[in-house]
Structure 1
Amino acid sequence: MTLTTKDFDYLLPEHLIAQTPLEDRSASKLLVLDRTSNEMIDTDFKHVLDYFKPGDALVVNETRVIPARIFGIKADTGAHVEILLLNNTVRNCWECLVKPGKRVHIGTVLHFGEDARLKGEIIESLDHGGRIIEFTYEGVFLEVLESLGEMPLPPYIKERLEDPDRYQTVYAKENGSAAAPTAGLHFTPELMKAAKDKGIEIIPILLHVGLGTFRPVSVDNLEEHNMHSEFYQVSQDAAARIEQVKARQGKIIAVGTTSVRTLETVAQNNKGKIVASSGWTDIFIKPGDSFLAVDHLITNFHLPQSTLVMLVSAFYEREEILKAYQHAVEKEYRFFSFGDAMLIL
């Protein structure tokens, strides 16, 4: 049977889309799916460590979300524009989404902030509708961005985020993402310490989340969908520790789909081995694909017909995932970025 995008659809009442984070990160619900017994268990995220053993490893994405949404004007007309920074391509050049984009052509100059403390010029148009913008400024770019930008929350979140740190994981370290690796938002410092105390390793890797998170699947045939490239990095230390865990028969637990995509990219490029590497990945994991590195997955509940639903359907089975999503709807789990979590064993 050839699967189409519509095969990954499900009905979601709008009131189940979480608009704000819970006060206690680990108070989220957790739906546990056991692929061996086909059992579904309803519990709370604070009990997630009960399903792991000493010697297992949590692989986390230590990317940090930058205030990537900035508002400015066209220097010639004063028309308002909204920019979403996606990837730092080279030096002061960034791949961006521009709204409205139709009248923002190569050569357009943009001003941001009082006295135009940040300026940008469109130097290239991209196939997916984005632009390459070269910025000029004084000082440190990230500090300028911190003073001008906003956290780039997904469009389905309508509420204002009072504390921007709640859209960061507690282990976020490397600036560069346009969206949070949201499965990691459930972890607290206390839960991380409890994992280490239990003998579970915490191994950081990196994938800067870019356009792939925002881009819907617009074709019916999955083979025709092109994933956007995102930068990843696995250090020598992380690679060695992951291989050590595998050698002693420990389980590799990927925290989030970004960790999965990073590990599987490296494993596919190196005959199943995890080695130190960095680069750009456009890996699109869908049913029928095999997993070479990941044993268990912690993930959130994702948008209907999204590449992320397709990824988790590859990790288990599409029918079982859709059944679990229907169960989550009936039990009124909270969905998407600030929502509840799923553990697939």
Structure 2
Amino acid sequence: MKRSEFSYDVPEELVAEYPADPPDSSRMMVLDRESHDINHDKHFHDLPEYFSEGDVLVVNDTKVYPARLYGQKKKTGADIQVFLLRELNPESRLWDVVVDPARKIRIGNKLYFDDDLIAEVIDNTTSRGRTIRFSFDDVNEALYQKIRDIGETPLPPYIDREVEEEDRDRYQTIFAENRGAVAAPKSTLHFTEDVLERLKEKGVHVVPITLHIGRGKSKPVDVEDLSKHRTDSEEYDIPEETAEAVNRALASDENTVTACGTTVARALESSLSADETVKPDHSWTDLFVYPEYEFKIVERMITNFHRPESMLMMMGAAFAGYDFLFEAYEEAFEEEYRLFAFGDAIFIK
């Protein structure tokens, strides 16, 4: 397929600047892949209606850190911005970052964020990418706390407002445990403790994976021929408990496996064993899913509305069916669903 086949005009007035309050009051479009019915009458707090005892819901427990740092080059006093992408080595405090303005930040430069936190540029990785080493006179946990204190929540660039202190909580899911993401698993932002408790009361197994989301996941694909696109690898972890729960449901004629988000789907589909079950795994994946990919593990998916020409939208089309997903998007615009990170949900069954 071609990248341009996933293009559409974004109704900018529908892009959500803030999440619903409470988060589970967001609307939830329900798509039935078999009948091609589209239900517009549900909200996210209705989700437990679609689950039965023994069903499995897999969530991503990655935790967003405030990845955008502002500082200066001491020689010139020039303002600089550093976006933390990934910690490379905790012992040596090496990080991959994106810098702005890139032309002013060279190997050997010292970057000053406050009196206690300094970094040196070690290497160039891309035109805007750098590897930096933090200098900090304390243990690593104190370094992470310093980054949390001075860093800014990395809201998506299409959210056209100033970042607010409340965004530290708004852009974090109730499952967040393992630090490492620069973007939230967006479909999981709808969950509240009430929804989670009602799922558990029904006997639903809510189990985690960890996949740390990078900055480029929602960006447009940069080649027209999708077969030539290469995505960045991402680290994921599937605990033994999660693999066992998923495999029990797959072996059952009565229970289902639901992936909460494209990151969960990507991790599960990357961990296939020879008999097409999930294996406990700690690995890296560069899996790129677009139509006509055949899902082996995921039977249902919770997702959001995604940007045009993004890998996330392409995975949604692979799961729901290309024509059906575009029909759903057209109806969503007519029904004025709220879009993207803080927008409404889609449940595909």
Tell me the TM-score range normalised by the shorter chain.
over 0.9
After superposition, residues 258-277 of structure 1 pair within 5 angstroms as 258-267=263-272, 270-277=274-281
Deviation at 1:298, TM superposition (A): 0.1
| 2:97 and 2:132 in contact (8 A); partners too | yes
Q: Which one-letter code corresponds to 2:32 in the other structure? A: D
Q: Equivalent residue for 2:150?
A: 148
Cα distance between partner residues in 1 of 2:220 and 2:83:
16
Q: Equivalent residue for 1:63?
A: 62
Cα distance between partner residues in 1 of 2:129 and 2:218:
12
RMSD: 1.4
Cα distance between partner residues in 1 of 2:219 and 2:124:
17
Structure 1 residues 81 and 270: alpha-carbon distance in aligned structure 2, compared to 1, 3 A threshold: farther
Q: Tell me, which stretches of 5 or more residues in structure 2 are unaligned?
A: none
Q: Equivalent residue for 1:74?
A: 73
Cα distance between partner residues in 2 of 1:195 and 1:128:
47
Cα distance between partner residues in 1 of 2:127 and 2:77:
26
| 1:10 and 1:322 in contact (8 A); partners too | no
Once the two structures are superposed, what CA deviation does each residue of 1:309-339 show, in whole Å capped at 9, x if it has no partner?
Answer: 1000111211111111111011000000000
Instruction: Give the TM-score, by structure 1 length.
Output: 0.95
Q: Which one-letter code corresponds to 1:96 in the other structure? A: V
Structure 1 residues 270 and 212: alpha-carbon distance in aligned structure 2, compared to 1, 3 A threshold: farther
Residue 7 of structure 2, aligned match among 6, 9, 23: 9
Q: Equivalent residue for 1:103?
A: 104
Q: Which one-letter code corresponds to 2:288 in the other structure? A: F
Q: Equivalent residue for 1:90?
A: 89
Residue 329 of structure 1, aligned match among 326, 329, 333: 333
Q: Equivalent residue for 1:161?
A: 164
Once the two structures are superposed, what CA deviation does each residue of 1:232-282 show, in whole Å capped at 9, x if it has no partner?
Answer: 101122212221222223211000111011111112x65522111112211
SS at match of 1:212: coil
After superposition, residues 116-265 of structure 1 pair within 5 angstroms as 117-127=116-126, 129-139=128-138, 140-159=142-161, 160-163=163-166, 164-249=168-253, 250-265=255-270
Name whichever of 238-247 and 142-151 sits farther off. Answer: 238-247
| 1:45 and 1:341 in contact (8 A); partners too | yes
Q: Which one-letter code corresponds to 2:3 in the other structure? A: T
Q: Equivalent residue for 1:24?
A: 22
Once the two structures are superposed, what CA deviation does each residue of 1:163-195 show, in whole Å capped at 9, x if it has no partner?
Answer: 121111111111110000010011100100100
Q: Which one-letter code corresponds to 1:176 in the other structure? A: G
Instruction: Give the TM-score, by structure 2 length.
Output: 0.94
The percent of aligned pairs where both chains have the same amino acid is 38
Cα distance between partner residues in 2 of 1:282 and 1:81:
31
Q: Equivalent residue for 2:323?
A: 319
Deviation at 1:202, TM superposition (A): 0.3
Q: Tell me, which stretches of 5 or more residues in structure 1 are unaligned?
A: none
Cα distance between partner residues in 2 of 1:238 and 1:157:
34
SS at match of 2:104: coil
Once the two structures are superposed, what CA deviation does each residue of 1:190-239 show, in whole Å capped at 9, x if it has no partner?
Answer: 10010000111101110001133254312211122221121110112221
| 2:59 and 2:208 in contact (8 A); partners too | yes
What count of residue pairs does the alignment treat as equivalent? Answer: 340
Once the two structures are superposed, what CA deviation does each residue of 1:116-175 show, in whole Å capped at 9, x if it has no partner?
Answer: x11111212224742111111133221111111011001111233341211111111111
Cα distance between partner residues in 1 of 2:7 and 2:48:
31
